[in-house]
Amino acid sequence: MTTQLASFDFITSTRVHCGMKAAEKIGETCAAYGKRVLVVADRSIPAAEAVAKAQLNAVGLPFRIVYLESPEPTVTYIDQLSVELRKDQFDCILAVGGGSAVDLAKSLAISLSHPESIWLYANLAYRPPLPLQRATVPVIAVPTTSGTGAEMTPYAVLTNEELKQKGTIQERAIMPKVALLDPELCWTMPPELTAATGLDAFAHALEATINVSKHAPVAEWAGRESMRLIFNALPRAFANPQDMEARQQMAWAAAVAGVAITHRGTTTCHAIAETMGGICHLPHGKSVAITTLPVLKKTLRLRPEIFSSLYSVIRNHSTADKSAEYCAQAFVDAVGQLTQTVGMSRNASSFLPRGAADGLAEQVLEAMLGYKYRPLKQHPVEFTKEQLGEIIREVVNG
């Protein structure tokens, strides 16, 4: 009798250096790809930019620096910048900063060799992306936050301000060739950013673990490992920004969560968060941080068994004497406690100017069902429109 075995993919093309002083490999890493380097940096992190400049100067590599124009890369800025930069024929792009800097670098990796608007390469529910016709510029990522895991993924998120939409490029060609994870570059993150990016990484790990779209054991291994690390390290990094052990654990956890979403993707939490962020310009990390718990609570009421095996992962002890219902509730309660511990038990209204949240829940619901509905079908519960409305109202107003 023959057993039918499920097939799956295992994708990795990124070489990772994780640990103290990893950033000292910037010069030699870039030199391996050529002589002209484009540096994508974030003006708000001058110390990390200074490290990159020093390392490139040390090996005599000429470089040009461009900066994030806004907290998250926009289609207009990417299109304008790529026209200006194409003539320089860069050999690699070095991204130094948070997930948005890496996303900008990945987008430029495409647009420097493709003349069309970068928005046409976003993979949207209502239309397919343009296929790549030429080689992309290699990307080297030096993340300074521990959140998106962009240093390990084929994704780049960009905002179309005209349409008030966020879209995601999904191309293996833009996966960074090398990721340098140096905890010393993360310690200047303020506590709120540490919290928001850490909970974003947690959401990646969780959503990839419970995503029902396809068989992907790598996603489950990576997601569970990332969640375990984050529950241990995030409260420590939040309370003591100079705890280098916690910072390194968070850097690795975010990268591993990136592996998880590379293999299985996100679900309802990110569908709501990205739609909301596109409308009201709330930063991605905060959007995800405040969206995750309301989605989990609604899922728990309808499908508690989804979470029953995860409590032992984050608490690292046997639950053999506990019921499945107890473990499921305990897991969601633990996520709520973590969210509260790092100061993210909030709603969108608390982050936005007075009056900006008026009517936001209705806008998010309609926009999400119009263009961001695909991840909704990957969640273990495919919520009704009414149920989604209840979740989104809690996200926006509490």
Q: How far is the first Cα of the chain from the last one, in angstroms, to the nearest whole number?
A: 55
User: Residues 203-252: pLDDT tens digits?
Assistant: 999 999 999 999 999 999 999 999 999 999 999 999 999 999 999 999 99
DSSP state, 168?
E
DSSP state, 163?
T
Place 3 in a pLDDT band, splitting at 50, 70 and 90.
Answer: low
pTM of the model: 0.94
Place 266 in a pLDDT band, splitting at 50, 70 and 90.
Answer: very high
Q: Rounded mean pLDDT of the chain?
A: 95
The DSSP secondary structure of 42-100, one letter per residue, reads -TT-HHHHHHHHHHHHHTT--EEEEE-SSSS-BHHHHHHHHHHHGGG--SEEEEEESHH
Q: Say yes or no to pLDDT of 2 above 60.
A: no
User: Residues 31-84: pLDDT tens digits?
Assistant: 999 999 999 999 999 999 999 999 999 999 999 999 999 889 999 999 999 999
For the chain, list the domains and their CATH numbers. Answer: 15-185 (3.40.50.1970), 191-397 (1.20.1090.10)
Instruction: Record the tokens describing residue 324, joined without a space.
Output: 């499945």
Q: Are 153 and 263 in contact (CB under 8 A)?
A: no
Place 274 in a pLDDT band, splitting at 50, 70 and 90.
Answer: very high
User: Residues 319-366: pLDDT tens digits?
Assistant: 778 899 999 999 999 999 999 999 999 999 999 999 999 999 999 999
